[in-house]
Amino acid sequence: MTRYVGRRSPARRILGWLLVALLAGGGIFAVWIYQQLGTLGTESVTPDVWMLSGLGGNVGVLRSERGAVVVDTMTFRMQGERIRETAEALTGREVEVIVNTHYHYDHTHGNPGFPPGLRIVATQRTRALMQAFDHDGYWVSHPEALPNDPFTDRHEIKLGGKTIRSSFLGRGHTDGDLVVQFVEDRVLHLGDLLFHRRYPNIDLEAGGSVREWPATLDRVLAMDGWDHVIPGHGAITDRAGIEQFQRFLRELWAQVQPLAAAGRTLDETLAAVQLREDAGYRAIVIPGILQLDRDFVVRRAWEEASGAVRTRAGMGGESARVAAP
């Protein structure tokens, strides 16, 4: 189902629906979408950290004495503007730093809603993926909002009494995701390395891997000094939430890999797999764009295990897919 047709990005397609809804007299639907774009949920994690939620990945906000830090910026420029206003209202400080956990549009396309010249941290790989999978030319139009402070393994900022530590710990959702630690507040933002009680996207074309994802989470679990966890999608959680998602990924691979290795077709595999660790997981569905559900994760695992998709795909862009969240 995540077979994105054509070359229009999902973001542009949502705007297309907005127009269609308006033209068709479906004003209520259009108003609903517009309100969703402008509405942010705000939840306190610690006295200096908040999670913002809306159409797109969860955003982390940190207050320091000298400025605010924002982790991820959702799907639209307009949302980026709202995130900036909200972060400044919550913290009483200007936003000084953006961190992008990975390249997907629902975590990065709000970047242009911030003033040019901000420090924008991401992995080198994420910056390269943003440019390689930039089907609608978004980053060609907004080069000033691309990460300008890229790193490979580890990155640390000291700002107004706070330490913002970003680490690349291995493949999972893509092969460029970073993990952010707000050290003094004992908070981790895992981006889409963690979907909490939701079926995850697995972006094989961008180097994602079901097989390697649990080991990456082991490296997260081995880190010191954190209690609260902000996932890319879903509610604020903790160590137990990461461990549960890790069990789900291990179960998925343990069931699908032997079937694929034995030459079973995708349909046979879909019929045979019986997951238990996904009890209570919600599907993420955007009609016509993507459907992240049980069949999706089984298919992705089967494609990886059977070699139907080359992981670590070159960035030459034979893939016409835009994968997100």
CB neighbours (10 Å) of residue 276?
9
Find the binder of Zn ion among 48, 192, 212, 293 (CB under 5 A). Answer: 192
Residues 92-111 that bind Zn ion (CB under 5 A): 104
Give yes or no for residue 325 binding Zn ion (CB under 5 A).
yes
**Identity of the residue, 30 or 129, whose beta carbon is nearer to Zn ion in the bound complex:** 129
Give whole-number Cα distances, 199 to 53, 282, 294, 297, 321, in Å: 18, 6, 7, 7, 19
Q: How far is the CB of 45 from Zn ion (least distance, A)?
A: 21
Q: Judged by CB, which is closer to Zn ion: 164, or 190?
A: 190
Per CB under 5 A, which region of 91-99, 186-194, 254-262, 283-291 contacts Zn ion? 186-194
Do 255 and 262 meet the contact criterion of CB atoms below 8 Å apart? no
3-state secondary structure 190-250: CHHHCECCECCCCCHHHCCCCCCHHHHHHHHHCCCCCCEEECCECCCECHHHHHHHHHHHH
CB of 253 to Zn ion, least distance (A): 19
165 binds Zn ion (CB under 5 A): no
CB of residue 102 to Zn ion, shortest distance in Å: 6
Give dist(CA 68, CA 164) in Å, integer.
11
**Per CB under 5 A, does 67 bind Zn ion?**
no
Give whichever of 67 and 200 is closer to Zn ion, judged by the CB atom. Answer: 200
| Comparison of 68 and 204: residue with beta carbon closer to Zn ion | 204
DSSP 100: -
Q: Which of residues 263-322 bind Zn ion (CB under 5 A)?
A: none
Would you say 145 and 69 are in contact if contact means Cβ atoms under 8 Å apart?
no
- Tokens coding 123: 């992995």
Query: In this complex, which beta carbon is closest to Zn ion, that of residue 192 or of residue 293?
Result: 192
By the rule CB under 5 A, 212 interacts with Zn ion: no
| Site residues (vs Zn ion, CB under 5 A) | 104, 192, 325
